[in-house]
Every structure is written in structure tokens, then in C-alpha cells.
Structure 1
Amino acid sequence: MPIIRKEEQLPLRSIVMVIYGQAGVGKTSLANTAKNPILIDCDKGSDRAVNRTDTLVASTWDDILKDESELANYKTVVIDTAKAVLDDFLSIWAVKQDYRLKTNKLRMFGEIGEQFKSFVNRCRSLDIDIIIISHVKEEKDGDIIKLSPDVTGQSKDLIIRIADQIGYISMVNNQRVISFDPTDNRVGKNTAKIEDVVIPDSTSPEFDNFMDSFSQRVKDAIQRLTKDQQEAIAVARDIQAKIEAVKNAKEMNSLLGEVNKLPISQQKAIKNNMIEKGKTIGVTINKLTKVFEDATDKGNPA
């Protein structure tokens, strides 16, 4: 595998997306609008979708493994649902491989995770996107009812970890909306920093390839994010080098303007370095005005 230099833009790659919501909100129908999809139907619900696609009807994990070679003919694998695959199919499969796992839940979840990650990685090596569908589960977290994908404990942690985007589908003003930002009462993941999106009605032409265009949007956003991050890191390094050459408050405040343009996550560490540098040249920061002052010029910020 070639080394990607830090100044090089990362290539486009396949993505893993989780979508979850109440029954009947149209999760499967939405996923079927992805690019050249195949639906792995583990819940026997493919006939309820408004737009059927090629379907692998599975009753066990072995059914999926048996026909896995066929997946290379598609660009998107839709898994319906996460709970059926992880909590049911793979738990039974793991015990069949090693009966001792039946009484060792920790090891069993480990085996489930490794097998599922291996499947996901094989799909991604073929440049296949993965959409994992899940029902919603309500869990009490103190005084808050939190919504999350309906998968058991460690299996839920697994899909949250490997997913690029996790979206919750809900009805807002009689429109279906998919939301990715996590909130106090909802699990989400928004690597691509995408705002809430209204899903077109299933009868409209825009719905036919909605997930295809949306997945591409996620890929482009992720690639753009890595480029922006690289540029921000380069700017931060340049500022760090300039800090070493600063001689007075005026020069420090000039740098402060550049620092304030950086992402918030980078500003704190650099400002701390500026304060430490100031101590060595007799420059302090005014806690009220938030600008640097020479020790010999208190009250008159540079």
C-alpha cells in the first residue's frame, strides 16, 4: 500500500452509513435509492419497500457468506437490519464455531465484532458502500429519553465506531428529515458536517437516486474535510514558528489575529504557547481586553 504524504489529498473511498428510525418511516425504501444496491434482507421485510431492488433473503449468517461473492457485482450493500445480523445471526454463528462462547458473553461479542468487521472490510476493499438499517430504541439516561439504533450493547458500540455517518429519520412538519448531529436525546455521527436534509417524497423523481447522490455528497465532504484539516495544520505550524521570533506585544497581537482564524480546537494550545513565550520577553495578556501588553506599557495595549 503506497504512503500518502501529509500534503497530499486523501483519495475518495467507500463509506459506512447507519440510518435508523421508527417502523414505517421508509428506511429500506430510502436505502434502496443508493447506487446499484443489493439488499441483504434479514428481517423478511423487503416486500414492504416502495422500490424493490436485488435482494439476498437470508435466515442465517451462513446464507450471507454463501452468496458473498455475488456482492462484487454491486456498488452498495444494504444490511436490513443491524439487530438481526449482529444480535441474531452472528451470535448463533459464533456459538456454532465455538460452543463455549454460549457461556462467555464477552468473548462471544468479541467474535461477533471481528467477523462483522471482516465482512465490512471485504466490502470496502471492493469499493462497495455499506448502509446499515436499524430500528430505533428508546433508553433512559437519567431524566432524558435517548434514541439510538436498536442493537445490543457492544454490537451498538461497534457500528457507531465503524460508521462514517449515523442518521436518524423522523417526521418534521409532515416531511421526512434525516439528521446526523448527535444531541442530548439522540445518537448521531456527522463526520461530513452535513445539515439536516429533507427526504423527497417517494413519488418524486428526486427520490429515485437520493441515497446515491447523498452518499457522494458525504464522500466529497469527507475528502474536503481532510484537505481543510491539512491546510489548518500547516497554518498552525507556521504560526508556532513565528511565535519563537516574536520580540514584543505588537508582534504578538499581530499573530493573535492569525490564531483567531484557526479552528477553535487548535486555538487554545497555540494561545497557551504564546503566553509562555510572553513570559520570556516581558509580555503578558490582559484578561479584560484579551490582547498582549508589554510589561513596561501596562494599560496601553499594543
Structure 2
Amino acid sequence: MLIHPQFDPVALALGPVQIHWYGLTYLAAFGLFYGLATRRILQPVYTARGWTPREVEDLLFYGIVGVILGGRLGYVLFYKLAHYLANPMEVFAVWKGGMAFHGGLLGVIAAMAVFAWVRKRGFFEVTDLVATCVPTGLACGRLGNFINGELWGRAADASLPWAMVFPQSGSELARHPSQIYQFLLEGLLLFVLLWLYGRSHGAHHRADGTVVWGRVSGLFLVGYGLFRFIAEYFREPDSFLGLLALNLSMGQWLCVPMMVAGALIWAWAGRRA
């Protein structure tokens, strides 16, 4: 069995200032988004709409605000509502951890709606651009989880070549390195699929050549929801929640409406006037 190397979560200490690996993965995620988005707007369907690198910078700012506020509020509401109702001031103690992807997604959706309204752009025009550039950021986040030795997997057969002991879990059980599974599925694989699909003519045009928005966004919701749903079978459920109805985790239940919404958006996008 492999043993988690237990990295020091602090990458660099400068006197009282500590720079954490997890914070650096967020910075890497934002940098990758900017680099990919500035490449994406070179696609004819975006150049025709007058997108500029400066506008991508503003879009990134809106996204950062949305993902931080939404991720924190999502964790509070979806996972530990009773605890935070009893300890309301801890909502602001973000240094203790606690971010939820599904909350971050809702926060980003709200931020993109505000951006689209301010810039007088179509909502799905904005989200189609964002969707292709998000998975690499998700991959960075899962890498940060692995470095921190958190969100470890469920028990695995010790004969599995990549089974890993996470001492942080308080046991010597061999576990699935589920952070790496998520890094590969909802990070790298989803990025490749969306990037290639986003470049295809069919992603933004109907058969008659008219422009359509929303298909890439719909595929993102379906793809992430599906890959996350699969990965959750290998990820240890949160100890304070356990498995819920039908032996599904909270993460899996949150993925169900996400996949349904994505499928409906994809189908609706191709039919709307």
C-alpha cells in the first residue's frame, strides 16, 4: 500500500505570513481560467461578439467573488446548517475550511448573471465561455485536497496498486485516493471533452447556421454531475452526514438536479428561437 506523504500545508512562510498550498491551487485555477478564456475568445463566434481580454479580466473578477461567497454559503447551507445556526460567527471563519462546489457553482451562476446584465450580453453566451475554462480549476482544487490529505476515499482492497493510507483519517485503512479520481474525471477529462466540443461547429450553431447559446453550459452540468456522481462512490462520505436516502451521499443528491437541468438546457438551447 502507498502512504500519503503528508505534505506541509504551508508552502512558504515569510515571518507571520503563511502561503498555503491550497491557496496557491486557487491562484493556479484563476490563472488557467484567464489563459484559456483569452484563447477561447479568439474563436469566430466570440470575435463576432466583440469579446476582449479586458472583458475576460472583469469576468474573472466576478467569478472569483461568486465562487468564494457561493462556495462558503453552500457549505453552510448544504452540509452543516445546524452547526452554523448555533455558531453564526463561525460562518466567517473561512480559514478553518469549508467550501462546497455546488454552492460555488450557484455563486458563479449568480455572478455571471450580473456580469451579463451589466455588459448587456446573453446569459448563456457568458456561461458557454466560462464552462469550457472551469474544469482545469476544479482539477487544481482536487490537487489541493490531495496535498492537504483531506476528502480521502472509502476503504479499498489493500491489493489495489494505488490504494493509499491517509494517516489524517485516524486509521490505517487502505483507501481510494478519491481526490485523484476527481482530478482526472471532473478535472482533466471534463476539460478535454468540453474544450473539444466547444470548438465544434455544432456547439454554437444549428443545422441552418444560426447561432445558438447554451449547449456547452448544458453539457458542463451533465458532465460534471455524472463524473462527480461516479467519484462519490469512492469518496468517504462526510462523517457528520454519512449516506442519505438510497445510500447516496449529499454530493450525489446535489448532482441529480444538476444533471437534469443540464440535459434540459442542452435540449432547449437547440430548439429555442
**Aligning the two structures, in what range does the TM-score lie when normalised by the shorter sequence?**
under 0.3
TM-score of the two chains, using structure 1 as the length reference = 0.23
TM-score of the two chains, using structure 2 as the length reference = 0.25
